[in-house]
Structure 1
Amino acid sequence: MGDTAAAQRLRLLQAEFVQPTRSGPGDGRTPTRAHSTAPINLGVLQQIQAAVQEVETHTRAAAPEAGPFTDPRAERVYDWARQQTAHLDAERQQAREALIYRQSMEHALTTGDTSVVRRQPCPACGCWGLFWREAQHKAVCVNRYCTDEQGLARTWTLAHLAQQYIAERNSAAARAT
């Protein structure tokens, strides 16, 4: 995933997934509604607002001199965060990038794209056998030898996977130079 993946996925959420789900003509019978449905998908709208708020809060905590994010296009919050924190040390920039990467994976999962989890190696065994388990909101390793102390399959949060990915990407970049 490139640096613009999070913004592109957030833009996709706004453009396509905020719209209410449409159902086709049924069998001719429709229940009488007491209230009309919301004109947009409120769950996705709340996710977008929460993502912007989280990035803004994180950025202002790291760089108190940063002004508020005022752009009406939510996907620009990532560029704003990078501009406001470009002067910070590498550790804080890595934390920012891990937040953005995690949100990018969350946006993809909201659209139904679980392949973003499968593209991550298991932090414990290194195999490429991670799958998204929606009920737990965690990635699970399907390698039968990769278990925890209770003998259960290891699970990983998106935050952990994002931190590992960004740390490895930065380490590889440092070795390449």
Structure 2
Amino acid sequence: MHSGDTSTPAERLRLIDKYFLAPGGGGPRAERTARATEPAAALRLDVYDHLRGSVDEATELAKSLCDGAEPYEPRPAKLEDTYRWLVEETSHLDQRRQMARDAVIYRQGLQHAILMGDADIICRHPCPDCVTWGLVWDRHREQVVCRNHHCADDDGRPTTWTLKQLAEDHIARKNHLVARAT
């Protein structure tokens, strides 16, 4: 059973697996395809690579955050349970490592949203540098760009951010607000 909330990384992962993996599914066209001399791939290889990479990264993260120790429980079979499992496996860690985990989960959620065609999710974040709401996703460079001209460098080039940097900034701001509220 799923929650119906399409804004969580887990729900996005489920939706990608269910609706975007099959040929003709939503999102951008596959870049990697079977050769023309063979039948068409039964699934979109770029989406499969994205799903596999996300789950593998979460599994490796659980191991690396726990100093190489094997997880207590095996990774769940359902993709959408991966992040819950990751949080449970690392809930005993210090705040710094939990923030690193949360940033990876948040970054993957941004990647899932962009793959699903929701690049507007980037606009919902303030720029990590100038703290204005002028961020956009540049799909050609695969970077976040701040459109505020006051945030540009000395040559007038806009400030750019990776999804990793944006996620780390988001988690740091969130944790700072929580710490101030208590």
Gaps of 5+ in 1: 23-32
CA RMSD of aligned residues (A): 1.6
Quote the offset at 1:136 in angstroms: 1.0
Give SS of 1:145's match: helix
Distance (whole Å) between structure 2 residues aligned to residue 122 and residue 45 of structure 1: 31
Give SS of 1:50's match: helix
Quote the offset at 1:9 in angstroms: 0.5
Gaps of 5+ in 2: 26-35
Q: Is the 8 A contact 1:19 1:39 kept in 2?
A: yes
Which residue does the alignment assign to 1:97?
Answer: 102
Give SS of 1:112's match: coil
Give SS of 2:137's match: strand
Quote the offset at 1:45 in angstroms: 0.8
Aligned residues: 165
Q: Is the 8 A contact 2:144 2:162 kept in 1?
A: yes
Distance (whole Å) between structure 2 residues aligned to residue 111 and residue 68 of structure 1: 30
Which residue does the alignment assign to 1:17?
Answer: 20
List structure 1 segments (4+ residues) > 3 angstroms apart after TM superposition.
Answer: 67-70
1:57 and 2:63 equivalent?
A: no
1:1-177 mapped onto 2 (5 Å cutoff): 5-21=8-24, 34-63=37-66, 64-67=69-72, 69-177=74-182
Give SS of 2:158's match: coil
In our comparison, the structure showing a higher alpha carbon Rg is 1
Distance (whole Å) between structure 1 residues aligned to residue 73 and residue 50 of structure 2: 19
User: What is the TM-score normalised by the length of structure 2?
Assistant: 0.85
Distance (whole Å) between structure 1 residues aligned to residue 142 and residue 79 of structure 2: 24
| Letter of the structure 2 residue corresponding to residue 164 of structure 1 | D
Distance (whole Å) between structure 2 residues aligned to residue 70 and residue 124 of structure 1: 37
